[in-house]
Structure 1
Amino acid sequence: MTTALTLTDTAFRDVVAAAVRAPSLHNSQPWRFRNRDGAIEVRADPARRLPVADPTGWALRIACGAATLNARLALAAMGLAARVQLLPDPTDPDLLARLTPTAAWQTTPAEEALFAAVERRFSHREPFYPAPVPVHARVQIIDAAHAEGAWAEILNGPAEIEVISEIVRAADAALSADSVYQGELRAWTRSERDERDGVPASAGGPVPQADDLLPRRSYGGREPSPGGDFDPDPLVVVLGTATDAPIEQLQAGIALQRVLLTVTDAGLAASMLSQPIEDPTARDNLRLALGRTDVPQMVLRVGTGRTGYPTPRRDLTEVIDKA
Structure 2
Amino acid sequence: MHNAQPWRFSYFRGSRTFHVRADLARAMPHTDPDTRALHLGCGAALLNLRVAVAHGGWYPATRLLPDLADPALLATVQLTGFGSGESDLAALYPAIHQRHSSRFPFEETEIPEAVRTALSDAAHLEGASLSFATAWHLQEVLELVEEAEARNRTDRGSDEDLATWTRIGTPSVMSAADGVPEYAFGPRKRGGKAPVRDFAGARSVAGRTATAFERSPQLALLSTSRDHPEDWLRAGQAMEHVLLLATLEGLSSSFVTQALEWPDLRWPLRDPLSGSAHVQMVLRLGYGPGGPGTPRRPVPEVLDMQP
TM-score between both structures, scaled by the size of structure 1: 0.86
Contact kept? 1:277, 1:297, Cα under 8 Å: yes
Q: Which runs of 5+ in 1 are unaligned?
A: 1-24
Q: Distance in 2 between matches of 1:160 and 1:59?
A: 23
The answer to whether the aligner puts 1:32 opposite 2:8 as a matched pair is: yes
Aligned to 1:45: 23
Q: Are residues 1:213 and 2:193 paired?
A: yes
Structure 1 stretch 215-224 or stretch 310-319: which is displaced more?
A: 215-224
Relative to structure 1, the CA distance from residue 224 to residue 304 in structure 2 (aligned partners, 3 Å threshold; closer, same or farther) is farther
Equivalent in 168, 176, 182 of residue 195 of structure 1: 176
Residue 289 of structure 1, CA deviation: 4.4
User: Which amino acid is 1:213 matched to?
Assistant: K
Give the structure 1 partner of residue 125 of structure 2. 147
1:173 aligns with 2:134: no
Alignment partner, residue 19 of structure 1: none
Amino acid corresponding to residue 196 of structure 2 in structure 1: R
- Which structure has more relative contact order (CA 8 Å, sep 6+)? It is 2
- Give the conservation status (yes or no) of the 8 Å contact 1:124–1:271: yes
Q: Find the counterpart in structure 2 of residue 284 from structure 1.
A: 267
- The CA RMSD measured in Å over matched residues stands at 1.9
Q: Is the 8 A contact 1:287 1:293 kept in 2?
A: yes
* CA contact 1:162–1:213 (8 Å) conserved in 2: no
What is the total number of aligned residue pairs between the two structures? Answer: 296
Aligned with 1:182 (options 159, 174, 199) = 159
Letter of the 2:197 partner, please give it. R
Output one character per residue of 1:214-246: Cα deviation in whole Å (capped at 9) or x when no partner. 4322223558756x3111011110001011110
Distance across 2 between alignment mates of 1:86 and 1:297: 18
The alpha-carbon deviation at position 160 of structure 1 amounts to 3.3
* Shift in Å, 1:291: 4.5
SS at match of 2:214: coil
TM-score (structure 2 length as normaliser):
0.90
- In structure 2, the residue matched to 1:164 is 141
* Unpaired runs of at least 5, structure 2: none
Q: CA deviation at 1:92?
A: 1.2
Identity of counterpart residues, as a percentage? Answer: 38
Q: Which moved more, 1:29-38 or 1:79-88?
A: 29-38
Matches within 5 A, 1:166-315: 166-191=143-168, 192=171, 193-209=174-190, 212-220=192-200, 221=204, 225=209, 228-287=211-270, 289=272, 291-315=274-298
How many Å separate the matches in 1 of 2:270 and 2:108?
28
| Cα distance in 2 between the residues matched to 1:290 and 1:185 | 34
3-state SS, counterpart of residue 246 of structure 2: helix
Q: Which amino acid aligns with 2:99?
A: R
| Deviation for aligned residue 1:181 | 1.1
Matched-pair contact (CA < 8 Å) for 1:239–1:297: yes
